[in-house]
């Protein structure tokens, strides 16, 4: 799989320092399964040669992968892709909202509301949010774009007492939550690969059946109460976005 490291496959002018591009590329290859759990990365010297970078660059990229828990160094044996756990947790410092994330990257985000209101909770929502069937959930479904490009369809569900007025969410859900009692400070995410159905592909302006990522996020208050269950479908060609969200923790 040495072509994985060929510079033509990971380096682009103007997209940041080499070590960080290499790091993101390897992280994405691990996340997508192209680099399988337990497979070995080439030794530092070989990797530097194939990737056409200095050994210092390789070392920095690998150190970041190790810090993220994606790669482990086995003494005397080399660097290996770690077997991922089923869940990903993000800590408060990195629990960014879509709006903030795009802002940080100098992109302007917009949302088109597809559905919004109070509903009887589905069984999934009851489980994720610890609700009774007699409770109600606030639901907001949005098509989210960055610089005018549709990036994701997100459907967020929250207990009614946390978001009694879903119509108040105009741009950022987390901004509304912070103003009224608190946004999640911890989240658990599950990421899976999916193919877009007809409705989703139309909204995301992609071909039907195109590969995408589904991310389910359950967000918790510091008390441990789950208050957000968001199921999102994300364009996989904005993979950097997802990878960085995953890895910054």
**CB 10, min distance to ligand 16G, A:** 24
Looking at the Cβ atoms of 61 and 140, the one nearer to ligand 16G is 140
d(CA 124, CA 131): 10
**CB 123, min distance to ligand 16G, A:** 20
Looking at the Cβ atoms of 42 and 232, the one nearer to ligand 16G is 232
Tell me which residue of 79, 134, 119 sits closest to 229, measured CA to CA: 119
- Contacts of 197-202 with C-beta under 8 Å, sequence gap 24+, read 200/153, 200/233
**What does the binding site for ligand 16G look like in residue numbers (CB under 6 A)?**
97-99, 154, 156, 172-175, 215, 217, 230, 232, 245
**CB 215, min distance to ligand 16G, A:** 4
**CB 229, min distance to ligand 16G, A:** 9
Looking at the Cβ atoms of 59 and 155, the one nearer to ligand 16G is 155
Written as one string, the DSSP assignment of the chain is: -GGGG-HHHH--TTSS-HHHHHHHHHHHHHHHTSS-TTPBPPPHHHHHHHHTS-HHHHHHHHHHHHHTTSEEEETTTEEEEPPPPS-EEE-GGG---HHHHHHHTT--EEEEEEEEEEEPPPHHHHHHHT--TTS-EEEEEEEEEETTEEEEEEEEEEETTT-S-GGG-SS-HHHHHHHHT---SEEEEEEEEEE--HHHHHHHT--TT-EEEEEEEEEE-TTS-EEEEEEEEEEGGGHHHHHHHHH--
**CB 114, min distance to ligand 16G, A:** 14
**CB 143, min distance to ligand 16G, A:** 12
**CB 76, min distance to ligand 16G, A:** 38
């Amino acid at each position: 799989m040495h072509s994985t490291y060929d510079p033509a496959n990971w380096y682009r002018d103007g997209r940041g320092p080499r070590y960080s591009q290499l790091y993101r590329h390897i992280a994405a290859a691990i996340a997508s399964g192209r680099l399988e759990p337990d497979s070995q990365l080439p030794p530092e010297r070989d990797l530097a040669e194939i990737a056409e970078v200095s050994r210092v660059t390789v070392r920095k990229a690998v150190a970041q992968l190790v810090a993220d828990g994606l790669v482990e160094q086995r003494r005397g044996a080399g660097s290996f892709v770690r077997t991922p756990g089923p869940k990903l947790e993000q800590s408060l410092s990195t629990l960014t909202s879509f709006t903030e994330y795009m802002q940080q990257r100098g992109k302007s985000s917009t949302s088109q509301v597809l559905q919004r209101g109070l509903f009887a909770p589905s069984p999934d929502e009851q489980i994720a949010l610890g609700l009774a069937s007699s409770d109600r959930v606030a639901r907001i479904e949005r098509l989210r774009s960055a610089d005018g490009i549709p990036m994701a369809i997100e459907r967020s569900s929250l207990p009614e007492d946390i978001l009694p007025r879903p119509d108040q969410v105009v741009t950022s859900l987390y901004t509304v939550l912070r103003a009224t009692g608190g946004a999640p400070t911890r989240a658990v995410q599950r990421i899976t690969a999916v193919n877009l159905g007809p409705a989703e592909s139309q909204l995301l302006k992609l071909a039907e059946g195109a590969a995408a990522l589904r991310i389910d996020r359950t967000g918790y208050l510091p008390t441990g109460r789950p208050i957000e269950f968001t199921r999102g479908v994300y364009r996989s060609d904005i993979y950097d976005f997802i990878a960085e969200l995953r890895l910054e923790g």
